[in-house]
Amino acid sequence: MTHGKLIAILPGDGIGPEVTAEARRVLDALDLGLVFEEAPVGGAGYRASGHPLPDATLALAKRADAVLFGAVGDPEFDSLERALRPEQAILGLRKNLTTFANLRPAKMFAGLEDASTLKPEVANAIDLVIVRELNGDVYFGAKGRGTTDAGLREGHDLMRYDESEVRRIAHVGFQTAAKRRGKLCSVDKANVLETSQLWRDVVIEVAAEYPQIELTHMYVDNAAMQLVRNPGAFDTIVTGNLFGDILSDQASMCVGSIGMLPSASLDAHGKGLYEPIHGSAPDIAGQGKANPCAAILSAAMMLRHSLDASDAADRIEAAVSAALATGARTPDLGGTATTRAMGDAVLAAL
């Protein structure tokens, strides 16, 4: 069933190409008959054709059955106007593909207790997924810079959601919880934000359709605290774009490294864009230091969610686990393995 399926590979910038290369090697080894096409994105897209999201790249992403994305961001382009900066490519892809639901699982792999910032017994209990809304919030609201009447420089980003946007992500949250331990925690800041009050109202309405799910609500500041105090208590978290961004980076350190966390960004029909939660990491780019596990695990999520190949996904996840068990570790996990060596270890385990 995977035979002939088209995968768009968009390596991007910094460590993006290094980690997607390892994910590609793992997919190749599984011999699933997938067809791969690569295209530049981010700073690489700008270099190739003057735009971070070239038309041909977007067209490929739309045509493909799934997109495997590396990372975008290149300090060389920081001074460009916002619309031309590398980061705009991923926002444009998410918007154009209507991938509004971002699934970010965080699970403790055996043996990584040393890398976690938490006590082993606290870290080992982590098995959660953050369902982050991806098409709204301050990222897409009106933005601007100006001057106040008093002549002071001013900046603003509008935080905005409408009820349909909240409803569709709430459904994904409940459905994700239903496939797991049946517990959904909706995270907001309803004590101070109107968007959060709307969020809470709509989540409560949607809950009526999922009587079997245990729904709780938590303010984001408390959620940040609970995530390091007692993360084992979380099953599924559903939250907005900004809060989800922050909480998932935090969750990554609880399980050892940002280099371990994959993600799936899904549209309403199961088509998806798959990427590690980390960025382009310019500080370690080109040095073979990047941990490819997040990209490899993203490929596994792609097989599971968009290509109906759960068995192959299970095999990849087991291979990552087995590779870590042999002691293979990139520097972020306290080891000395290169990106390629870590990929080799996963391939060997496969």
- Interface with ligand ATP by CB under 6 A: which residues? 15, 19, 71, 73, 258-259, 278-281, 283-284, 290-291, 294, 332
162 is catalytic: no
CB of 277 to ligand ATP, least distance (A): 7
DSSP symbols for 228-279: HH-GGG-SEEEE-HHHHHHHHHHHHHHTT-GGG-EEEEE-TTS-EEEEESS-
Is 291 known to sit in a ligand binding site?
yes
In the DSSP assignment, the letter for residue 151 is S
Q: Which residue is nearest to ligand ATP (CB)?
A: 279
* Residue 101 in marked binding region: no
The maximal CA–CA distance of the chain, rounded, in angstroms, is 65
Q: Which is nearer to ligand ATP, 45 or 279 (CB)?
A: 279
Q: Is 201 designated active site?
A: no
**332 tagged catalytic:** no
Helices of type H across the chain: 16-30, 43-49, 55-63, 87-96, 120-123, 163-179, 194-207, 220-229, 241-254, 293-305, 310-325, 339-349
Rg of the chain over all Cα atoms, to the nearest angstrom: 20
Of 189, 235, 271, 274, catalytic: 189
How far apart are CB 5 and ligand ATP at their closest, in Å? 26
User: 230 labelled as ligand-binding?
Assistant: no
Residue 249: active-site member: yes
Query: Is 286 within any annotated ligand binding site?
Result: yes
Q: Is the distance from CB of 22 to CB of 342 less than 8 angstroms?
A: yes
Residue 120 annotated as lining a ligand binding site: no
Q: Which is nearer to ligand ATP, 278 or 304 (CB)?
A: 278
Q: Is 287 annotated as a binding-site member?
A: yes
For 201, the 3-state DSSP assignment is helix
Q: What angle do CA 6, 13, 281 make, to 5 degrees?
A: 125
Give the nearest distance from C-beta 257 to ligand ATP in angstroms.
6
139 annotated active-site: yes
From 114, 162, 221, 314, the catalytic residue? 221
CB of 14 to ligand ATP, least distance (A): 7
Given 245, 271, 274, 332, which residue is catalytic? 245
Q: Pick between residue 12 and residue 54 the one whose CB is nearest to ligand ATP.
A: 12
Q: Catalytic: which of 249, 267, 308, 344? A: 249
Measured from the CB atom, is 73 or 105 closer to ligand ATP?
73
**Residue with Cβ nearer ligand ATP (20 or 195):** 20
Neighbours of 326 (CB within 10 A): 11
Contact between residue 6 and residue 54 where contact means Cβ atoms under 8 Å apart: no
Among residues 46, 139, 161, 274, the one annotated as catalytic is 139
Q: Residue 197 and residue 120: Cα distance in Å, rounded?
A: 36
Contact 217, 201 (CB under 8 A): no
Tell me the C-alpha distance between 293 and 333, whole Å: 11
Q: Which residues are annotated as a binding site for substrate?
A: 94, 104, 132, 221
- Sequence ranges of the binding site for Mg(2+): 221, 245, 249
What amino acid positions are annotated as catalytic residues? 139, 189, 221, 245, 249
- Residues within the annotated binding site for NAD(+)? 279-291
